[in-house]
Amino acid sequence: MLQLPIFISAESCSFSKKRLRALFLSTFFEHRFEKQYDKGAYYLNLKGNQPMEHTTSDGRILVMTAVEGEREAVLRGLKGDTRFVVELAGVGAPSAAASTALALAAAGDYRLVISAGIGGGFVEVAELESVVVADAIIAADLGAETAEGFSSVDELGFGSSRIAVNVATAQRFVQALRAAGQTAVAGPILTVSTATGTAATAEQLAKRVPGAAAEAMEGYGVAVAANRLELPTMEIRTISNAVGPRDRAAWRIKEALQALEAAFSTLTEVI
């Protein structure tokens, strides 16, 4: 069960102040949390039986993009659909996790969190200007180098580098995108700290994550924040470049942003 400490120690404040703060916080989170006192501190526990998948149409959908150009493309596609809120994550997973956590803390009525933007596509899996919908979100370079090669945080025993998504939802969305005329595939989307710039790294990553479809830099951070609140996550990337030797001049950013706009237009029709 998710448990959020609310930092009220018995030593640090009087009983009445303690109760007041706990009352305020538990009212703020009342639909999702229940209060528990344990060893001198209050905790907010996520109530049981929360729907992990967005089977309900109640609540809004938070979309996080790294940069403003991506945010504008998503907003164009949404055409003013008020079910969605689109916020900036910043570039990279740490900034994305912090931004997403702040956005989720500011409003308690989200039912789904989406990491979206352009990304690199693995050759022969995701072509330029196509859409990749994550069937798993994987922090592909979170771990340690060893004499035997890369060890993930999972192998090191420090947590999980993989965040699950609702695969059926991802596949359904891919079908809808194809029906709307876009090239789309469901597959693992890797989150990396350093965008791949050589064929050797592309090969290593493809070996590390069989079936890897795309890479970007924020998905895992967004998903970690959503996951802490037991909110379901999606990642949607449109392919601006191939994962491999860096050739920024060849990136199809404009076309990928147009594909992103079209993908979100379709999303409003099927979600």
Ligand X SMILES: O=C(O)c1cccc(C(=O)CC[C@H]2O[C@@H](n3cnc4c(=O)[nH]cnc43)[C@H](O)[C@@H]2O)c1
* Structural contact between residues 41 and 7, judged by C-beta atoms closer than 8 angstroms: yes
Distances (CA, A) of 209 to 6, 130, 138: 38, 20, 9
Least distance CB 120 / ligand X (angstroms) = 2
Stretch that binds ligand X, among 32-40, 61-69, 124-132, 141-149 (CB under 6 A): 61-69
Least distance CB 37 / ligand X (angstroms) = 42
Least distance CB 226 / ligand X (angstroms) = 17
User: Scanning residues 62 to 91, which ones bind ligand X (CB under 6 A)?
Assistant: 66-67, 69-70, 91
Q: Binding residue for ligand X (CB under 6 A) from 195, 208, 228, 258? A: 195
59/92 with CB nearer ligand X: 92
* Whole-angstrom distance, CA of residue 100 vs CA of residue 114: 10
Strand (E) positions, 96-146? 110-121, 131-139, 143-146
66/103 with CB nearer ligand X: 66
Stretch that binds ligand X, among 1-9, 48-56, 164-172, 190-198 (CB under 6 A): 190-198
* Whole-angstrom distance, CA of residue 4 vs CA of residue 1: 10
**Entry field: residues in the chain:** 271
Using alpha carbons only, give the angle 61, 34, 89 rounded to the nearest 5 degrees: 30
Residue 215's nearest CA partner among 204, 229, 224 is: 204
8/236 with CB nearer ligand X: 236
User: Number of residues in contact with ligand X, rule: CB under 6 A?
Assistant: 20
Instruction: Tell whether the torsion through CA atoms of 60, 64, 70 and 71 is positive or negative.
Output: positive
165/190 with CB nearer ligand X: 190
* Structural contact between residues 231 and 104, judged by C-beta atoms closer than 8 angstroms: yes
Least distance CB 71 / ligand X (angstroms) = 9
What track of x and - describes contact with ligand X for positions 100 through 139 (by CB under 6 A)? -----------------xxxx-------------------
* Structural contact between residues 259 and 182, judged by C-beta atoms closer than 8 angstroms: yes
67/206 with CB nearer ligand X: 67
182/258 with CB nearer ligand X: 258
* Whole-angstrom distance, CA of residue 84 vs CA of residue 217: 22
49/194 with CB nearer ligand X: 194
| CB-nearest residue to ligand X | 120
* Structural contact between residues 188 and 136, judged by C-beta atoms closer than 8 angstroms: yes
Least distance CB 180 / ligand X (angstroms) = 22
Residue 114's nearest CA partner among 103, 106, 127 is: 103
Token pair of 155 as six digits: 């192998």
Q: Binding residue for ligand X (CB under 6 A) from 189, 240, 262, 264? A: 240
Query: Contact residues for ligand X (CB under 6 A)?
Result: 66-67, 69-70, 91, 117-120, 192, 195-196, 215-218, 240-241, 243, 253
